[in-house]
Amino acid sequence: MLDFNKYRNPDPYRSKPRKPLLKHGHTSQDAEKYLGLLKAYEKEIIEWKNHMAERSTKEAELIEQFYIDMYEDLGISENPKRHKLSAIAWNMGHSSGLSEVYHYASELVTLIED
């Protein structure tokens, strides 16, 4: 049985920064303040996009490692149908977590064993 905590992304999800709004009926002073807020937002959104790209890459690496470990644990590392099995298991269980993906794969593995 696998340790599913091993595949959790340690990098927390960050909320997307909110773009500042310039209120209706603004004054030139409001516009100057808004310009400063908008520049700060533009910097924050670039940092957020970079963070999310790095997080997505890490997430993909963790899931790939999960598949490698799952295939090994189920004894199907060399089975040519292992990817089809994992795709079906993913569709059936990923919304409930990797433990459910593993559960479905372990139930379906008899369909592809020699």
Q: Tell me the average pLDDT across 48-56.
A: 97
Task: Return the higher-pLDDT residue of 46 and 113.
Answer: 46
Residue 84 has pLDDT above 80, yes or no: yes
The whole-angstrom separation of Cα 81 and Cα 84 is 5
Tell me which residue of 94, 32, 101 sits closest to 69, measured CA to CA: 101
Residue 78 has pLDDT above 80, yes or no: yes
- What the block records as the tokens of 20 is 């500042």
Tell me which residue of 55, 70, 77, 75 sits closest to 103, measured CA to CA: 70
pLDDT (0 to 100) of residue 26: 92
**Cα-only R_g, the chain:** 23
* pTM flag (> 0.85): no
